Structure 1
Amino acid sequence: MNDISPGTPRLFSRGSWDEARRVADILRGETVGGALLLAGAVAAMIWANSPWSGAYEALRAVRVGPAALHLDLSLAAWASDGLLAIFFFVAGLELKREFVAGDLRQARRAAVPVAAAFGGVVVPAVLYLLVTLSSGAGDGAARGWAIPTATDIAFALAVLAVIGRHLPAALRTFLLTLAVVDDLLAIVIIAIFYTEHLSPLPLLGTLVPLAVFALLVRRRVRAWWLLLPLAVATWALMHASGVHATVAGVLLAFTVPVVRSERAGGPDAGPGLAEHFEHRLRPLSAGVAVPVFAFLSAGVGIGGPDGLVTALTDPVAIGVVVGLVAGKPVGIMVATWLVSRFTRADLDENLAWVDVGGLSVLGGIGFTVSLLVGELAFGTGSERDAHVKVAVLAGSLIAALVAALILRLRNRVYRRLHEAETADRDQDGIPDVYQQRP
């Protein structure tokens, strides 16, 4: 991860490196990451429902990796266990930065979105269980309770970036804080409730490479050839322990220091390692890991209109859609109101409740983690897993469309205010002060 020094032999021309950097900068954009995620899912759905669907399933089932280390996994398993570890590493870095140096650093400011994240996990889970239990769904349907609890960071931020150019910056901060805490809760849920066979020795073994990794990054070591093998070893041992391997990504991220080096002018001066690693790995996460996971996970044969009806009338699928479309907004709004009403924590003064309402609907976009939990709950490739995928896609699409409608209208209001303020400033040099939220 080190930059190229003048004495390093060049494998690529200067133009090639410049082009690679431009591509990386593009991939760091929220809109591009969300678009690639959507493109991967759409491509998978088209292929899985085409005459060549057998080739898609054969591709997912291709096994690669060293059998001696019990890592001869299918490509679908590599995507969910391996590539998503990169996604959760980046999410963990972002979460730690928020706790140490961002909005989560101040308890009063963090309390509202953190409570909203908890509400957005509890209410969808309760609604899912109510739907599945009241319908008499058996066959372990309750195992999917966590499917509608996740908010997809990339997808949600991409929608907000596209439709909300004039929305308050506080809205993005609220959504980002909610989403990263949501991801942390998802990791805890996966580790506790979706670990069936725990092997203590490999789990204890993860502490060794993890501790060495932590020691090196604390000393501001950035050399990829030292850190990458340790990260892979941590991931492999976590995978062997029975705990979902993506947990390793978050644990590794939490060891990375956030605060900048105090040695001004020294070789370690500049951004903290968390910011450095996030900057370097976000293009890999947004441009490769998440889209490939979506491509290898979202493809499910619907079987025409009859198959779609069968999938969406499954009580599990109904529970997922209700959890995402209704549970998420209700949970986020109720938790936000309760904390704002009965504690000293306040909603950001730049936000109106209708803004939070649109954002809470946006929180119903559950994609990456929801698909992962569906596979863990019902088994990859099972009929119920296929129904879950259809439900997650349908629920996320509904949430995205409704949120886009609400926030688009709010964006127009803020745009008119901005234009009026700009015109007033141009007229007399003193802008009006809008004391009330629109």
Structure 2
Amino acid sequence: MEEETLFSAGVGRPLADRMRPASLDEIVGQDHLLGPDAPLRRMIDSGRLASFILWGPPGCGKTTLARIMATRTSLHFVALSAVFSGIADLRKAFEVAGKRRSCGEGTLLFIDEIHRFNRAQQDGFLPYVENGTVILVGATTENPSFELNSALLSRCKVFVMNPLNAEALAEIVRRAERILDRPLPVSEEGRKTLIELADGDGRYLINLLESVFDLTPAGRTLDAAGVLKIVQQRAPVYDKDREGHYNLISALHKSLRGSDTDAALYWAARMLAGGEDPLFLLRRLTRFAMEDVSLADPQALPMAIAAWDAYERLGSPEGELAIAELVIYLGTAPKSNSAYKAWGLAQEAAKKYGSLTPPAHILNAPTKLMKAIGYGDGYRYDHDTPEAFSGQNYFPDKMARRKFYDPPERGFEREIRRRLAYWERLRRQKENSAPGTE
């Protein structure tokens, strides 16, 4: 860390640098880790550190926490970024750490953006973490379960850092006012707008504050509209190929399943605003129409295909209305997964009884030989019966009749359930009236 001189102090330093917390108590929004008796606080205060991973979104204080830890421990602090460092830098860090260890000094190795190291590079940490050459503290914005080797994860605790809530962001605003010794030149509405624009990112909020302090004319107070004129609206945080992608599509799918149409519209809009491929969204919505609406509303699937076709014809932004209409249709439709469950049960039965042949009476008999050995013998043509229903058995002879499809009393499946019950009654009647039964 650079030392300040009489001439450098306070000159040309960004507000973010001047506001960087100097103690654990100054870190906001992470009381679950750093509050009294919180797990990470106890570890740091005891001085007995074990390797761990800090997982959290941008601007929640991961790097700041690591820097503060360097002043709270007797370990030598080494910081690397996976963005700018390679295997040669790691080898050098491990070699020097080994020499320190032979002299009785430990090393705390902080790796920012650790998920950017590939699997082979991550494997390189294992022997040095395992034998205590370094205490590894990794920082990542990505889910460690997806991005880090299981072997490395098994040797490290994972501490989850939260995006900063409104109160934590408000405290950052108050701290900026104290450091600059002047009030933020915005109305209460403008202050709320800044906090909303930050979207849980403390670093981004500080940059917004610096813009407002520097660009607001003297004596003027900005409202929400004035704030938006000075600062550019932030693009939504959304990585299409990482965890955010899966989190948001999961949120959309579950909102639809829960018939919360407004929440579903919000998640769909979030994904599109973040740059998600609309065709991916339409594919998932079509899947939802089949799996979660299904025959409770037989029009759901044609609606999904129509929306897909409309978007491909119109493109963005006009075609996005077709997506919105589909989300509304699916959110408000009756829900059923009975066909999905029935298919799963049928697949299980097919594996278990996969070698059984159909009963002879429903086999075609195109040759005299096949007729002679009983193919088609006893088959009753359903349309020849008054109900257009013969009630014959169509399962293999050596397989008991199974019920796979059990529609609920919802939507159109209420009618299907009535039909199935009717055919079941007819089947029992015909079985009881068949020759040889009493």
In the superposition, the TM-score normalised over structure 1's length comes to 0.23
More helix by share: 1
In the superposition, the TM-score normalised over structure 2's length comes to 0.23
Higher normalized contact order (CA 8 Å, seq sep 6+, divided by chain length): 1
Higher alpha-carbon Rg: 2
More strand by share: 2
